[in-house]
Amino acid sequence: MVEILAAEHVHHTLDCGVEFAADVLPARNTVAIGFRLLAGVADEPEDLNGIAAITESTLSKGTQAHSGREIADAFDLLGARWSSHTGRQTTVFRAVCLPEYVPDVVDLLAEMLRTPAFEEEACRVAVDLALKDYETLDDHPDDLLRILINRMTLGSRLGRYVGGTPESLQRIDAARVWEHWTGLYGAGRLQIAIAGPVNPDDVASQIDARFAGFGDATPAGRAPVDVALSPTVEHRQLESEQQYIALVLPGVPRTAPEFRAEQVLIGVLSGGMGARLFTEVREKQGLVYYVGAWQEHPRGAGMIHLSASTTPQRCDQTYRTLVRELERLREDLTDEEIARARDGLIAQFQTEDDLTRARASSLSDDLFHYGRPIDPLTKLQAIEAVTPDDVRRRAAALALDRMCVATVGPQPLDV
C-alpha cells in the first residue's frame, strides 16, 4: 500500500502531437507500455465494417524494413510480451518488458505503427480468418449475445460487430487497408502510457522523435458519445441446450461523481460468491450456470450489464429473478453488504490493480476518460469515501424503465 501513496505522474502533449503519460515506479522490476490509437470500429465506413480489426491485425505481419517473422523474433529476443486489440473507439497495443529493453520495444511498436507494409497476401489472410470467425459465431452463443445487445444499446455505428460481416469483409483489400491507416493513424490520435522504473524524459524524447511527422498531429478522437437507451426486447433464435440472457440499463460515466457509488453497488450484486446474484440466483434457486454484473464505459457514457446462462425451461424465471434483484437494490440494501462490497474494491485496488501492467492500463484509461492522469491515492480515497447513503441514492436512481433485454437460444422470453 505504501507504493500507492508514492505515485509520480508525468503528462505531456509532445511536439509530435502524441499525448504521453508515465507512472514512475522505481521499485518495480518490469515496465508496461500501452499505445492507444483513438480510432476503432465506430470510425469505419459502414460498408467496410471490420477494416479496423483487419488493419490492427495486419500491422504486425510486416513493415517496410522487416517481415512479420522478424518482428515476432525481435520481441521474443527481448523477452517482451505484446498484444493488440480493436475496440469500439480505440485500437490498443500493449507490451511488457524489462526496463533495459524499453527503447527497443518502443522502437518496434513505432515501426509497426509508422511503416507497415500491408502486403496484399497478409491482408487477404486476415480477411479469410475474419470470415472463418464469422462462420463459427453460432458455436459461441455468448458472442452472439454480446453482438445483439451491443447493437440494441449502442446503435448501428458504435454497436457494430468489430469482426465485420461477410459482405463488408469481402470489400476489404490492401488498398482499402492503406486508406484506413492513412486516414486515421496519426500522432494526434495517439495516447501512450507507460508504468514502471523508467526515466520519463528519455522515453518522451524517444517517442517524440519516432512519431514526428506521423500523420495528422491535430488532437482528434476525444469527443464523448451519446448513449440513450430505450426499453427493447430482442431474441436471436439458436438451437442450443442453454439460453443466454443479457440486461443492460443506463449507468453513469466514469467522470460522474456517482461513479464510485455505482461501483460499490455492482459489487453488492456481483462482487464474489457472497454477492446477491450468485447467492440468490445460483445458490438458492439453482437457476443458472453463470451469472454476473459489470459496468461498461464508452467515453462520456455508462452502462450497467447483467448476464446469465440457463436452460430454456428456466429462462423466464431467471429473467424475472434478475429483474427482482435489481428492484431489491432499492428496497433492502444493508450497511454490512455495502461495506463488504466497498472493502472488496479496496482490496482489489491494492492488489490486482496495483500490478505494473494494471497501473499502465489504468493510466491509459485515465487519459481516455479524463484527459489527464488521476493519482491512485485519489482513486483509493474516493472508494473509501463511499457511504451507504451514496449507494442507496444510486440504487434509487436506477432507470429500470429504460432497460434493454436480449436473449439467445431456443425460445424468446415471455414478457
**3-class SS at 212?**
coil
Give the pLDDT confidence of 265-290 residue by residue, as tens digits.
Answer: 999 999 988 999 999 999 999 999 99
The answer to whether the beta carbons of residues 368 and 300 sit under 8 Å apart is no
Other CB atoms closer than 10 Å to residue 347's CB: what's the count?
A: 11
Structural domain count of the chain:
2
Distance in angstroms (rounded) separating the CA atoms of residues 169 and 343:
47
Largest distance between two CA atoms of the chain: 63
The answer to whether the beta carbons of residues 358 and 25 sit under 8 Å apart is no
The answer to whether the beta carbons of residues 163 and 130 sit under 8 Å apart is yes
Residue 326 maps to which CATH number? 3.30.830.10
Strand pairing of 91-97 and 81-86?
Answer: antiparallel
Same domain, 366 and 287: yes
Q: Which residue from 192, 111, 200, 186 is spatially nearest to 360, judged by alpha carbons? A: 192
Distance in angstroms (rounded) separating the CA atoms of residues 228 and 399:
12
Q: Answer whether residue 414 is part of any domain.
A: no
Same domain, 74 and 192: yes
Q: Give percent of the chain above pLDDT 90.
A: 96
**3-class SS at 78?**
coil
For 82-140, where are the alpha helices, taking DSSP H only?
102-114, 120-135
Q: Answer whether residue 121 is part of any domain.
A: yes
Distance in angstroms (rounded) separating the CA atoms of residues 59 and 181:
10
Same domain, 100 and 239: no
Q: Which residue from 2, 11, 1 is spatially nearest to 374, judged by alpha carbons? A: 11
Q: Answer whether residue 239 is part of any domain.
A: yes
Distance in angstroms (rounded) separating the CA atoms of residues 248 and 12:
37
The answer to whether the beta carbons of residues 101 and 79 sit under 8 Å apart is yes
Same domain, 206 and 323: no
Same domain, 25 and 170: yes
Phi and psi at 130, nearest 5°, equal -65, -40
Same domain, 171 and 291: no
Strand pairing of 243-250 and 404-409?
Answer: antiparallel
Same domain, 319 and 260: yes
Same domain, 131 and 239: no
Residue 284 is part of which domain span? 232-409
pLDDT value at position 295? 98
Q: Answer whether residue 64 is part of any domain.
A: yes
Q: Answer whether residue 156 is part of any domain.
A: yes
Distance in angstroms (rounded) separating the CA atoms of residues 243 and 245:
7
Distance in angstroms (rounded) separating the CA atoms of residues 30 and 197:
7
Same domain, 317 and 376: yes
pLDDT value at position 4? 45
- Listed in sequence order, the residues at least 6 apart from 85 whose beta carbon sits closer than 8 Å to its beta carbon are 56, 91, 92, 94
The answer to whether the beta carbons of residues 410 and 239 sit under 8 Å apart is yes
Q: Is the dihedral of CA 210, 216, 221, 222 positive or negative?
A: positive
Q: Answer whether residue 335 is part of any domain.
A: yes
Same domain, 178 and 243: no
What is the H or E stretch that residue 72 is in? helix 68-77
Same domain, 182 and 50: yes
The answer to whether the beta carbons of residues 291 and 325 sit under 8 Å apart is no
Residues in the chain with pLDDT < 70?
1-7
What is the H or E stretch that residue 335 is in? helix 335-350
Same domain, 48 and 187: yes
pLDDT value at position 228? 87
DSSP collapsed to 3 states, 363-394? HHHHHHHCCCCCCHHHHHHHHHCCCHHHHHHH
Q: Answer whether residue 216 is part of any domain.
A: no
Q: Answer whether residue 250 is part of any domain.
A: yes
